[in-house]
Amino acid sequence: MANDPIHQFQISKLIPIEIGGLDFSFTNSAAFMVATVAASGAFLFLTTSSRGLVPGRLQSISEMLYEFVASMLRDAAGSHGMKFFPFVFSLFMFVLVGNLLGLFPYFFTITSHIIVTFALALLVIGTVIVYGFWKHGLGFLKLFVPSGVPAVLVPLVVLIEVVSFLSRPVSLSVRLFANMLAGHITLKVFAGFVTSLSAFGVAGMAGAVLPFVMVVAITGLEILVAFLQAYVFAVLTCMYLNDALHPGH
Amino acid sequence: MFVAPAFAQSADEGAAGETHTETGVEHGSGHEAGFPPFDSSTFPSQLLWLAITFGLFYLFLKRVALPRIGNILEVRRDRIAQDLDQAARMKDEADAAVAAYEQELAEARKKANVIGQEARDQAKAEAEAERRKVEARLDEQLSEADERIATIKSTAMKDVGAIAEETAALIVQELIGSKADKSAVAAAVKAVRQ
């Protein structure tokens, strides 16, 4: 069981709660959601508490995160998009800190569960749809009819656009989920090699050097992936929000 | 600590209504594989806690953290703009001061020229007056001297006849050994002098 690479994704109940036949237990996943939110919230809050005109190191990190997401959103969706800034920033921080926390040994990775990433993706698409119709009414449907397409091709293009729109939440959620899942499984498998090989004495330990180096390298790669996937998630969110703001292509 | 399969199954039945419509295809393979991410019995709990934590996080960031960071950045931007303005104003002031200084310098130079010119003119006039006075005095002295020379000359000339007569009479007396006729000597001297 110790070497089972799937074991790390197991959800265990910490405080069993059941309401109306549904299991709403406070699990290790919920605990790490709380940890993610608490850590990032506390970081942003505490590092900026001095409100330094000349920022310290930690305050600079908070400001850089702020300006990074702000410029990302402004580039993708224009200045009108800034009303979604708290939303995009929350998503980015939640995914980023969730990914990074999951890299600690024995820690649970909340973004390695498809339901979490899918819920976040649905939240994004739901926001796009609701805001799009609220702002533009039926004009939002122009999103599916690119301008400058010959009339004959319109039905086909609309079909393609609709399918691509509907596949967005799936691709958004599966991308993040699969990256986290695969990365953690790979780490676990190589780490498992190290322990299994070391059990065969000195020769085994010498042989374990290679997977050990791989574990170190993959850990570095996973830190990169944690950042990258949070960035990709946020950037795609910005682009989808741009569709809601400016449906005419 | 792990989810008991029996419980997972029963919870899954109960959760069917809400969660299955949302999640669509993904959890189809969940039950038999026992793969935790596809175990739909954990979905209600994860969704609930995600909603709670993410909702609170969103509210906290929107109400507290982000306005604060935005405020810090804005204050800094304002401060920088303000400082730049102040620097520009100070530069303008310095430029104005330099211009005023240069103008004053030019005026002072002009004034100095005027004063110098005046002083020069005055000095020239004084020198001229002095020269005239000296010249006048010299002229006066010259004429006085001329006058004196003339008087001396005339008196000298007056005496010359008598002296010549006397001398001539003495010379004649020495030559001939007797007193010369005074009137003859006077006539002779007179003849020579003319």
Distance CA A53, CA A1 (A): 53
Q: How many other C-beta atoms are found inside a 10 Å radius of the C-beta of residue B143?
A: 10
On whether any CB of chain B is under 8 Å from the CB of A106, the answer is: no
pLDDT at A150: 84
Q: With respect to residue A116, please indicate whether it lies within any of the assigned structural domains.
A: yes
Q: What is the DSSP string of B34-97?
A: T-GGG-GGGHHHHHHHHHHHHHHHHHHIIIIIHHHHHHHHHHHHHHHHHHHHHHHHHHHHHHHH
Question: pLDDT tier at B4 (50, 70, 90 boundaries)?
Answer: very low
pLDDT higher than 90, residue B81: yes
pLDDT higher than 80, residue B189: no
| Minimum-distance CB partner of B45 among A6, A23, A36 | A23
DSSP label of A160? H
Q: Which residues contact A209 (CB under 8 A, 6 or more apart)?
A: none
Contact between A244 and A128 (Cβ < 8 Å): yes
Residues in chain B closer than 8 A to A25 (CB atoms): 45
Q: Inspect the interface and report whether the beta carbons of A114 and B26 lie closer than 8 Å.
A: yes
| Minimum-distance CB partner of B37 among A66, A170, A181 | A181
| Minimum-distance CB partner of A10 among B2, B14, B69 | B2
* Residue A57, domain extent: 7-245
Q: With respect to residue A123, please indicate whether it lies within any of the assigned structural domains.
A: yes
pLDDT at B62: 94
> Tens digit of pLDDT for each residue in A32-74?
999 999 999 999 999 998 888 888 899 999 999 999 999 999 9
On whether any CB of chain B is under 8 Å from the CB of A67, the answer is: yes
Distance CA A9, CA A28 (A): 10
**Burial of B132 (C-beta count, 10 Å sphere; 0-12/13-18/19+):** exposed
Size of interface A-B (CB pairs under 8 A): 155
> Tens digit of pLDDT for each residue in B104-161?
999 999 999 999 999 999 999 999 999 999 999 999 999 999 999 999 988 888 888 7
Return mean pLDDT, chain A: 90
Residues in chain B closer than 8 A to A122 (CB atoms): 22
Tell me, what's the ipTM?
Answer: 0.89
Least confident of A112-116, A242-246, B80-84, B174-178: B174-178
Q: With respect to residue A2, please indicate whether it lies within any of the assigned structural domains.
A: no
Q: With respect to residue A1, please indicate whether it lies within any of the assigned structural domains.
A: no
Average pLDDT over every residue of A238-249: 85
Distance from CA of B106 to the nearest CA of A (A): 46
pLDDT higher than 70, residue B38: yes
> Tens digit of pLDDT for each residue in A103-152?
998 899 999 999 999 999 999 999 999 999 998 888 888 888 888 888 88
Question: pLDDT tier at B181 (50, 70, 90 boundaries)?
Answer: confident
> Tens digit of pLDDT for each residue in B52-75?
999 999 999 999 999 999 999 999
Distance CA A135, CA B46 (A): 32
How many structural domains comprise chain A?
A: 1
Question: What totals of helices (H) and strands (E) does chain A contain, helices first?
Answer: 7, 4
pLDDT at A249: 57
Query: Who wins on pLDDT, B12 or B158?
Result: B158
On whether any CB of chain B is under 8 Å from the CB of A1, the answer is: no
Question: pLDDT tier at B24 (50, 70, 90 boundaries)?
Answer: very low
Residues in chain B closer than 8 A to A115 (CB atoms): 19, 23, 27, 37, 42-43, 46-47
